[in-house]
Chains A and B, each alone.
Chain A
């Protein structure tokens, strides 16, 4: 990782073959994400936000260009090596919390350990999961089942789950899309808190209000970056 850079995209394009007329989802995108950044990616539907997020996280391969994740060139990596690079670097937060209803809150937080365990998470997994729940303000709800949690609480559990393996980068796809505005602001406040502690966050959102909490805003249109600015109007959540 050079100069604290977590992800580096160089001239990245993504073309989907759709019959005789291939669709270009991303076009020659060049960007870097540095450690401890909090980035909001905005743009209308079909602008390539999700494709960009997938390429940043190494779950999709670009058609052209180079992608470096945690210092490793991943755009041509075989599947196993790509999975290994992804596990060590990236965590996801989705629009819905997507907790397994058969598991308690703390078990959901520990779920990534079933597949991969980082050094930090490996030694005392339950203690770490409890610490992550406390970090998101749900220390006393660890034994609750998902159906006993509110939407905001469930999303907090999914954030704790994303932090479990100590990722370099958290990718959040519309993380407040299914929450009411107050709960959404609470989650934004949590993101700011985690970012202030050094966590790198990239968030896709439609909502300018939510984007205003990020320190850097990237706007996409027709697969191209049309704006990449430091958010001087950066606001602290008041919730």
Chain B
């Protein structure tokens, strides 16, 4: 007969108490595990986006004219970059990127690869901005190349209807739609042409919400600005591309334009995400501590109810260490049970909460989380049981004898 065998048998006898105690741990562990699974899956989503799209640059004419507030967002009208300049800008960009990689010590075996791994070419998404009045409201019409725009502004999504497909179709921002009471299918007078609204953009908290978009070609034609664009949004399409270097080179070598690097945006997104996750985890750890106190109370109460058993074990020759081990075996089993239940609950919870927090999230539950849950549950149970076990071991045998 070994001490752990006795402990197992005792736990088997007290199934309800074991489950009750385990559940206290399981609730806290499940919260922690659900946060970890959701955060991990969400983080992957963020990293995927960063990996897919990389950092970005905005290229505008130096003398863009507009209200200060819109200018901050890169929206200006009245100054243009000729479309014919695009290949030259692209060449400066590519050369600068390769130089940047070399500066960072990367191995470039052939064009389009870094360290042997291929990376896609950048996406240049040009826009033309023109001011006009629609339904009595001053508004900016944006001409875009849709397939490039959807890569450069990957957060773009249609809330109602669909993206424009023909030259006489437009999509509008949610705010503009609300303010002008425009619906999908309505006709708008853009310049002197009637155009059909095919879709309303999902709100992005950007100037896009109060804009009207049509194809670049249509916009150029409508406003007689053939061959002209107001800005270029450049997506690097690789996670660590040295776009800062590219911005410096473009500003140096291409006269009349100003390139601004936005490489920090994705990194900042990731950092904010990590900080938020850390904050949530700290709250959940606090709840784990609270549940430890609950488990401590349950075990402490149980010890008072088990004085006779403790007395008997002491009378049979149990030493202090053996009694501590006896209670620790119980704590470990309660912790493992709590960890497994917590893992199951946490996984289920992350499947519910994850999709609410992150669009298109793929919840990935790996065995790693089961190991973490069991370790956490066991640790919490042991921490909660240390004092009660020490207390039990220190009960004087003559005191314990009185209960026998």
Contacts and interface: CB of A to CB of B under 8 A. Distances in A.
B404 A112 contact: no
Interface in B300-343: 308-309, 312-313, 315-320, 322
A54 B319 contact: no
Given A54-B401, A115-B322, A100 B317 contact: no
B264 interface: no
Contact of B398 (A54, A95, A111, A115): A54
A111 B1 CA distance: 6
A103 B9 contact: yes
Given A83-B319, A100-B6, A103-B9, A115 B313 contact: yes
B13 interface: yes
Indicate the member of B1, B9, B308, B404 with the most A CB atoms within 10 Å. Answer: B1
A102 B12 contact: yes
B323 to A, nearest CB: 9
A60 B396 CA distance: 9
Nearest to B308: A98
B2 interface: yes
Contacts of B312: 98, 100
Interface string A106-123: 010011111110000000
B397 interface: yes
B10 interface: yes
Nearest to A117: B1
B5 interface: yes
A96 interface: yes
Interface in A64-89: 79-80, 83, 86-87
A94 B309 CA distance: 13
Contact of A115 (B3, B9, B12, B13): B3
A92 interface: yes
A87 B398 contact: no
B404 A111 contact: no
Given A114-B2, A115-B3, A115-B316, A102 B308 contact: no
Contacts of A3: none
Contacts of A83: 317, 319
Contact of B404 (A96, A107, A115, A165): A96
Interface string A15-34: 00000000000000000000
Nearest to A54: B398
Nearest to A95: B404
A92 B400 CA distance: 13
Name, among B10, B309, B316, B319, the residue most crowded by chain A CB atoms within 10 Å (CB to CB).
Answer: B316
A125 interface: yes
Contacts of A125: 1
Given A92-B315, A94-B404, A100 B10 contact: yes
Contacts of B10: 100, 102
Nearest to A57: B315
Contacts of A94: 315, 404
A100 to B, nearest CB: 7
Interface centre among A87, A115, A165 (most CB of B within 10 A): A115
B309 to A, nearest CB: 7
Interface in B354-403: 397-398, 401
Contacts of A226: none
A86 B401 CA distance: 15
A94 B315 CA distance: 10
Nearest to B5: A114
Nearest to A109: B1
Contacts of B2: 114
A107 B9 contact: yes
Contacts of B397: 59-60
Contact of B401 (A59, A101, A113): A59
Contacts of B12: 102
Nearest to A116: B317
Contacts of B319: 80, 83, 115
Contact of B317 (A50, A107, A112): A112
Give the top 6 A-B pairs by smallest Cβ distance, nearest first: A102-B13, A102-B9, A110-B1, A115-B317, A87-B317, A116-B317
13 contacts: A59-B401, A60-B397, A92-B316, A95-B404, A100-B9, A102-B9, A102-B12, A103-B6, A114-B316, A115-B313, A115-B317, A115-B322, A116-B317
Interface of A: 50, 54, 59-60, 79-80, 83, 86-87, 92, 94-96, 98, 100-103, 107, 110-116, 125, 161, 165, 173
Given A100-B309, A103-B6, 6 more contacts: A86-B317, A94-B404, A100-B9, A103-B9, A110-B1, A115-B319
